[in-house]
Structure 1
Protein backbone atom coordinates (compact mmCIF):
# COMPACT_ATOMS: atom_id res chain seq x y z
CA UNK A 1 0.00 0.00 0.00
CA UNK A 2 1.00 3.58 -0.43
CA UNK A 3 0.85 6.29 2.25
CA UNK A 4 -2.68 7.37 1.27
CA UNK A 5 -3.83 3.76 1.39
CA UNK A 6 -2.65 3.39 4.98
CA UNK A 7 -4.64 6.35 6.28
CA UNK A 8 -7.71 5.89 4.09
CA UNK A 9 -8.34 2.14 4.36
CA UNK A 10 -11.24 1.23 6.63
CA UNK A 11 -9.96 -0.48 9.79
CA UNK A 12 -10.41 -4.23 9.30
CA UNK A 13 -12.80 -4.76 12.23
CA UNK A 14 -15.08 -2.02 10.87
CA UNK A 15 -14.92 -3.45 7.34
CA UNK A 16 -15.89 -6.85 8.76
CA UNK A 17 -18.89 -5.24 10.48
CA UNK A 18 -19.95 -3.59 7.20
CA UNK A 19 -19.76 -6.96 5.43
CA UNK A 20 -21.77 -8.67 8.16
CA UNK A 21 -24.51 -6.06 7.79
CA UNK A 22 -24.62 -5.98 3.98
CA UNK A 23 -27.18 -8.68 3.21
CA UNK A 24 -26.80 -10.86 0.12
CA UNK A 25 -26.08 -10.40 -3.55
CA UNK A 26 -23.87 -8.08 -5.54
CA UNK A 27 -22.06 -5.34 -3.61
CA UNK A 28 -20.72 -2.31 -5.44
CA UNK A 29 -17.79 -0.64 -3.65
CA UNK A 30 -17.77 2.74 -5.35
CA UNK A 31 -14.50 4.15 -3.97
CA UNK A 32 -12.60 0.92 -3.35
CA UNK A 33 -9.13 2.33 -2.74
CA UNK A 34 -6.77 -0.49 -1.73
CA UNK A 35 -9.67 -2.91 -1.27
CA UNK A 36 -10.19 -3.22 2.49
CA UNK A 37 -13.98 -3.25 2.34
CA UNK A 38 -14.21 -5.14 -0.96
CA UNK A 39 -12.11 -7.93 0.56
CA UNK A 40 -14.39 -8.27 3.58
CA UNK A 41 -17.51 -8.32 1.40
CA UNK A 42 -15.86 -11.03 -0.73
CA UNK A 43 -14.94 -13.02 2.40
CA UNK A 44 -18.68 -13.18 3.15
CA UNK A 45 -18.99 -14.86 -0.30
CA UNK A 46 -20.66 -11.88 -1.93
CA UNK A 47 -19.92 -10.92 -5.48
CA UNK A 48 -18.19 -7.55 -5.40
CA UNK A 49 -17.60 -4.85 -7.99
CA UNK A 50 -14.71 -2.70 -6.73
CA UNK A 51 -14.29 0.65 -8.50
CA UNK A 52 -11.54 3.22 -8.11
CA UNK A 53 -10.38 5.98 -10.41
CA UNK A 54 -6.71 5.43 -9.48
CA UNK A 55 -5.13 2.49 -11.35
CA UNK A 56 -2.39 2.20 -8.69
CA UNK A 57 -5.03 1.74 -5.97
CA UNK A 58 -6.70 -1.00 -8.01
CA UNK A 59 -3.32 -2.74 -8.41
CA UNK A 60 -2.89 -2.63 -4.62
CA UNK A 61 -6.47 -3.87 -4.14
CA UNK A 62 -5.91 -6.81 -6.51
CA UNK A 63 -2.72 -7.74 -4.64
CA UNK A 64 -4.49 -7.45 -1.27
CA UNK A 65 -7.39 -9.59 -2.49
CA UNK A 66 -4.90 -12.28 -3.57
CA UNK A 67 -3.33 -12.22 -0.10
CA UNK A 68 -6.78 -12.86 1.40
CA UNK A 69 -7.62 -15.46 -1.28
CA UNK A 70 -10.78 -13.67 -2.48
CA UNK A 71 -9.70 -12.28 -5.85
CA UNK A 72 -12.17 -14.58 -7.67
CA UNK A 73 -15.11 -12.89 -5.90
CA UNK A 74 -14.18 -9.35 -6.93
CA UNK A 75 -14.41 -7.63 -10.31
CA UNK A 76 -11.96 -4.72 -10.22
CA UNK A 77 -12.69 -1.69 -12.40
CA UNK A 78 -10.46 1.31 -12.95
CA UNK A 79 -12.91 4.10 -13.62
CA UNK A 80 -14.94 7.04 -12.42
CA UNK A 81 -17.92 5.87 -10.33
CA UNK A 82 -20.02 8.78 -11.60
CA UNK A 83 -19.45 7.83 -15.23
CA UNK A 84 -20.00 4.11 -14.57
CA UNK A 85 -23.05 4.43 -12.28
CA UNK A 86 -25.74 4.48 -14.99
CA UNK A 87 -24.60 1.04 -16.19
CA UNK A 88 -24.14 -0.56 -12.74
CA UNK A 89 -26.51 -3.13 -11.24
CA UNK A 90 -26.21 -4.30 -7.67
CA UNK A 91 -28.09 -5.25 -4.53
CA UNK A 92 -26.12 -2.97 -2.23
CA UNK A 93 -23.88 0.05 -2.72
CA UNK A 94 -21.03 0.76 -0.34
CA UNK A 95 -19.87 4.37 -0.14
CA UNK A 96 -16.67 5.38 1.61
CA UNK A 97 -15.76 8.45 -0.42
CA UNK A 98 -12.53 10.30 0.37
CA UNK A 99 -12.76 12.47 3.47
CA UNK A 100 -10.03 14.86 2.32
CA UNK A 101 -7.09 13.24 4.08
CA UNK A 102 -6.15 13.19 7.76
CA UNK A 103 -7.00 16.90 8.12
CA UNK A 104 -10.71 15.99 8.45
CA UNK A 105 -10.01 15.39 12.17
CA UNK A 106 -9.35 19.09 12.75
CA UNK A 107 -12.84 20.09 11.52
CA UNK A 108 -15.30 20.49 14.40
CA UNK A 109 -18.35 19.38 12.38
CA UNK A 110 -17.57 17.63 9.09
CA UNK A 111 -20.26 18.41 6.52
CA UNK A 112 -21.26 16.25 3.58
CA UNK A 113 -20.09 19.09 1.33
CA UNK A 114 -16.53 18.25 2.42
CA UNK A 115 -16.56 14.78 0.85
CA UNK A 116 -14.60 14.18 -2.34
CA UNK A 117 -14.77 14.02 -5.33
CA UNK A 118 -18.30 15.46 -5.01
CA UNK A 119 -20.53 16.43 -2.11
CA UNK A 120 -22.22 13.69 -0.10
CA UNK A 121 -25.72 14.57 -1.32
CA UNK A 122 -24.68 14.10 -4.96
CA UNK A 123 -22.76 10.91 -4.21
CA UNK A 124 -25.78 9.48 -2.36
CA UNK A 125 -28.19 10.47 -5.13
CA UNK A 126 -26.06 8.73 -7.78
CA UNK A 127 -25.84 5.60 -5.60
CA UNK A 128 -29.60 5.63 -5.05
CA UNK A 129 -30.16 5.32 -8.78
CA UNK A 130 -28.53 1.87 -8.46
CA UNK A 131 -30.30 0.65 -5.30
CA UNK A 132 -31.87 2.10 -2.15
CA UNK A 133 -29.70 -0.28 -0.10
CA UNK A 134 -26.70 1.84 0.76
CA UNK A 135 -24.01 1.66 3.42
CA UNK A 136 -22.12 4.93 3.87
CA UNK A 137 -18.94 5.11 5.98
CA UNK A 138 -18.20 8.63 7.19
CA UNK A 139 -15.88 10.52 9.56
CA UNK A 140 -16.62 10.34 13.27
CA UNK A 141 -17.23 14.12 13.33
CA UNK A 142 -19.78 14.11 10.49
CA UNK A 143 -22.89 16.27 10.86
CA UNK A 144 -25.42 13.55 11.78
CA UNK A 145 -28.38 15.78 10.90
CA UNK A 146 -27.11 15.94 7.32
CA UNK A 147 -26.75 12.15 7.23
CA UNK A 148 -30.34 11.78 8.40
CA UNK A 149 -31.43 14.30 5.75
CA UNK A 150 -30.21 11.89 3.07
CA UNK A 151 -33.03 9.53 4.04
CA UNK A 152 -35.68 12.29 4.18
CA UNK A 153 -34.69 13.68 0.79
CA UNK A 154 -35.28 10.29 -0.80
CA UNK A 155 -38.57 9.46 -2.43
CA UNK A 156 -39.96 7.48 -0.80
CA UNK A 157 -38.01 8.27 2.38
CA UNK A 158 -35.51 5.58 3.35
CA UNK A 159 -35.03 4.03 6.74
CA UNK A 160 -31.64 4.83 8.20
CA UNK A 161 -29.69 3.41 11.11
CA UNK A 162 -26.57 5.22 12.23
CA UNK A 163 -23.86 3.44 14.21
CA UNK A 164 -20.61 4.67 15.69
CA UNK A 165 -17.63 2.49 14.81
CA UNK A 166 -14.97 1.84 17.45
CA UNK A 167 -11.45 0.48 17.30
CA UNK A 168 -9.82 -0.17 20.69
CA UNK A 169 -12.53 1.86 22.47
CA UNK A 170 -12.00 4.94 20.24
CA UNK A 171 -14.61 6.18 17.76
CA UNK A 172 -13.07 5.88 14.29
CA UNK A 173 -16.07 6.57 12.09
CA UNK A 174 -19.82 6.56 11.65
CA UNK A 175 -21.71 4.18 9.39
CA UNK A 176 -25.18 4.90 8.02
CA UNK A 177 -27.21 1.90 6.81
CA UNK A 178 -30.02 2.95 4.50
CA UNK A 179 -33.21 1.04 3.59
CA UNK A 180 -32.82 -2.73 3.18
CA UNK A 181 -29.16 -2.43 4.15
CA UNK A 182 -30.26 -2.00 7.77
CA UNK A 183 -30.90 -5.70 8.05
CA UNK A 184 -29.03 -6.94 11.05
Structure 2
Protein backbone atom coordinates (compact mmCIF):
# COMPACT_ATOMS: atom_id res chain seq x y z
CA UNK A 1 0.00 0.00 0.00
CA UNK A 2 1.28 3.44 -0.95
CA UNK A 3 2.05 6.04 1.70
CA UNK A 4 1.16 8.89 -0.68
CA UNK A 5 -1.58 11.10 0.73
CA UNK A 6 -1.92 13.68 -2.04
CA UNK A 7 -0.98 14.00 -5.68
CA UNK A 8 -0.17 17.59 -6.60
CA UNK A 9 -0.29 18.90 -10.13
CA UNK A 10 1.62 22.20 -10.50
CA UNK A 11 0.62 24.45 -13.40
CA UNK A 12 2.15 27.66 -14.72
CA UNK A 13 -1.03 28.90 -16.42
CA UNK A 14 -4.50 29.25 -14.87
CA UNK A 15 -6.19 28.16 -18.10
CA UNK A 16 -4.23 24.91 -18.09
CA UNK A 17 -5.19 24.42 -14.45
CA UNK A 18 -8.88 24.89 -15.31
CA UNK A 19 -8.44 22.35 -18.11
CA UNK A 20 -6.88 19.96 -15.58
CA UNK A 21 -9.86 20.39 -13.27
CA UNK A 22 -12.20 19.58 -16.16
CA UNK A 23 -10.24 16.45 -17.12
CA UNK A 24 -10.17 15.17 -13.55
CA UNK A 25 -13.89 15.78 -13.12
CA UNK A 26 -14.71 14.03 -16.42
CA UNK A 27 -12.86 10.95 -15.13
CA UNK A 28 -14.69 11.13 -11.76
CA UNK A 29 -11.54 11.85 -9.78
CA UNK A 30 -12.38 13.89 -6.67
CA UNK A 31 -10.32 17.04 -6.21
CA UNK A 32 -9.29 17.76 -2.62
CA UNK A 33 -8.50 21.45 -3.15
CA UNK A 34 -7.00 23.97 -5.56
CA UNK A 35 -4.35 26.50 -4.50
CA UNK A 36 -3.71 29.64 -6.53
CA UNK A 37 -1.57 32.74 -5.99
CA UNK A 38 -4.42 34.98 -7.18
CA UNK A 39 -8.21 34.77 -7.50
CA UNK A 40 -9.45 32.86 -10.53
CA UNK A 41 -12.87 33.84 -11.90
CA UNK A 42 -15.33 30.95 -12.03
CA UNK A 43 -13.28 28.41 -10.10
CA UNK A 44 -15.78 28.19 -7.22
CA UNK A 45 -18.60 27.21 -9.57
CA UNK A 46 -16.40 24.67 -11.34
CA UNK A 47 -15.36 23.03 -8.06
CA UNK A 48 -18.87 23.19 -6.60
CA UNK A 49 -17.91 25.37 -3.63
CA UNK A 50 -20.94 26.41 -1.60
CA UNK A 51 -21.76 30.06 -1.10
CA UNK A 52 -20.39 31.57 2.10
CA UNK A 53 -22.68 31.84 5.11
CA UNK A 54 -20.70 34.73 6.56
CA UNK A 55 -23.60 37.07 5.79
CA UNK A 56 -25.89 35.11 8.11
CA UNK A 57 -23.30 35.35 10.88
CA UNK A 58 -23.02 39.11 10.26
CA UNK A 59 -26.79 39.52 10.52
CA UNK A 60 -26.92 37.55 13.80
CA UNK A 61 -24.02 39.55 15.28
CA UNK A 62 -25.71 42.81 14.26
CA UNK A 63 -28.97 41.73 15.89
CA UNK A 64 -27.13 40.83 19.08
CA UNK A 65 -25.35 44.22 19.08
CA UNK A 66 -28.60 46.13 18.52
CA UNK A 67 -30.36 44.17 21.26
CA UNK A 68 -27.53 44.64 23.75
CA UNK A 69 -27.18 48.40 23.37
CA UNK A 70 -30.92 49.01 23.12
CA UNK A 71 -31.37 47.08 26.38
CA UNK A 72 -28.55 48.98 28.11
CA UNK A 73 -29.79 52.39 26.97
CA UNK A 74 -33.40 51.54 27.83
CA UNK A 75 -32.48 50.31 31.30
CA UNK A 76 -30.20 53.28 31.98
CA UNK A 77 -32.42 56.10 30.70
CA UNK A 78 -35.86 54.72 31.60
CA UNK A 79 -35.47 52.62 34.75
CA UNK A 80 -32.16 53.30 36.48
CA UNK A 81 -31.73 57.06 36.04
CA UNK A 82 -34.70 58.73 34.34
CA UNK A 83 -34.20 62.45 33.65
CA UNK A 84 -36.71 65.07 32.62
CA UNK A 85 -35.00 66.93 29.79
CA UNK A 86 -37.18 69.67 28.32
CA UNK A 87 -40.36 67.77 29.15
CA UNK A 88 -39.53 64.98 26.70
CA UNK A 89 -40.60 61.42 27.54
CA UNK A 90 -38.00 59.07 29.01
CA UNK A 91 -38.63 56.37 26.41
CA UNK A 92 -38.12 58.22 23.14
CA UNK A 93 -37.02 55.81 20.39
CA UNK A 94 -35.43 58.46 18.07
CA UNK A 95 -32.92 59.22 20.85
CA UNK A 96 -31.89 55.55 20.94
CA UNK A 97 -31.23 55.21 17.19
CA UNK A 98 -27.63 56.57 17.01
CA UNK A 99 -26.39 54.31 19.83
CA UNK A 100 -28.20 51.29 18.43
CA UNK A 101 -26.84 51.89 14.92
CA UNK A 102 -23.23 52.31 16.07
CA UNK A 103 -23.27 49.21 18.26
CA UNK A 104 -24.91 47.18 15.50
CA UNK A 105 -22.03 48.07 13.18
CA UNK A 106 -19.44 47.40 15.90
CA UNK A 107 -20.80 43.96 16.79
CA UNK A 108 -21.18 43.07 13.12
CA UNK A 109 -17.58 43.97 12.32
CA UNK A 110 -16.04 42.15 15.27
CA UNK A 111 -18.40 39.21 14.85
CA UNK A 112 -17.51 38.80 11.17
CA UNK A 113 -13.79 38.87 11.91
CA UNK A 114 -14.15 36.28 14.69
CA UNK A 115 -16.41 34.09 12.54
CA UNK A 116 -14.02 34.28 9.58
CA UNK A 117 -11.03 33.33 11.71
CA UNK A 118 -12.95 30.46 13.31
CA UNK A 119 -14.28 29.12 10.00
CA UNK A 120 -10.96 29.26 8.15
CA UNK A 121 -8.64 28.39 11.06
CA UNK A 122 -6.57 31.51 10.36
CA UNK A 123 -6.11 32.67 13.91
CA UNK A 124 -3.40 35.29 14.42
CA UNK A 125 -0.05 33.70 15.24
CA UNK A 126 -0.85 30.38 13.59
CA UNK A 127 1.68 29.15 11.04
CA UNK A 128 0.22 28.91 7.54
CA UNK A 129 -0.21 25.42 6.10
CA UNK A 130 0.15 24.97 2.36
CA UNK A 131 0.52 21.97 0.07
CA UNK A 132 3.23 23.53 -2.08
CA UNK A 133 5.08 26.71 -1.16
CA UNK A 134 5.11 27.92 -4.78
CA UNK A 135 1.30 28.14 -4.72
CA UNK A 136 1.68 31.42 -2.85
CA UNK A 137 4.02 32.84 -5.50
CA UNK A 138 3.72 31.69 -9.10
CA UNK A 139 2.20 28.19 -9.39
CA UNK A 140 -1.37 26.92 -9.62
CA UNK A 141 -1.74 23.64 -7.73
CA UNK A 142 -4.44 20.98 -7.91
CA UNK A 143 -4.40 18.60 -4.95
CA UNK A 144 -5.99 15.19 -5.49
CA UNK A 145 -6.61 12.83 -2.57
CA UNK A 146 -4.52 9.75 -3.34
CA UNK A 147 -6.48 7.40 -1.07
CA UNK A 148 -9.20 6.85 -3.72
CA UNK A 149 -9.63 3.81 -5.95
CA UNK A 150 -8.06 5.45 -9.02
CA UNK A 151 -4.47 4.32 -9.70
CA UNK A 152 -1.86 7.01 -9.11
CA UNK A 153 -0.42 6.58 -12.59
CA UNK A 154 -3.78 7.47 -14.17
CA UNK A 155 -4.06 10.65 -12.09
CA UNK A 156 -0.47 11.59 -12.94
CA UNK A 157 -1.12 10.99 -16.66
CA UNK A 158 -4.28 13.13 -16.62
CA UNK A 159 -2.49 16.00 -14.88
CA UNK A 160 0.42 15.85 -17.33
CA UNK A 161 -1.97 15.77 -20.31
CA UNK A 162 -3.66 18.90 -18.96
CA UNK A 163 -0.32 20.74 -18.93
CA UNK A 164 1.10 20.24 -15.45
CA UNK A 165 4.78 21.19 -15.36
CA UNK A 166 5.33 19.03 -12.30
CA UNK A 167 3.41 16.24 -10.57
CA UNK A 168 4.40 15.47 -6.98
CA UNK A 169 3.33 12.71 -4.62
CA UNK A 170 3.08 14.13 -1.06
CA UNK A 171 3.42 11.81 1.90
CA UNK A 172 2.38 14.55 4.32
CA UNK A 173 -0.65 16.78 4.25
CA UNK A 174 1.11 20.14 4.59
CA UNK A 175 4.53 21.67 4.10
CA UNK A 176 5.80 24.19 6.64
CA UNK A 177 7.74 27.34 5.86
CA UNK A 178 10.61 26.20 8.08
CA UNK A 179 11.76 23.49 5.65
> Which has the larger helix fraction?
2
Structure 2 length normalisation: TM-score? 0.25
| Higher RCO structure (Cα 8 Å, ≥6 apart) | 2
Structure whose residues are more often strand by fraction: 1
Q: Which has the larger radius of gyration?
A: 2
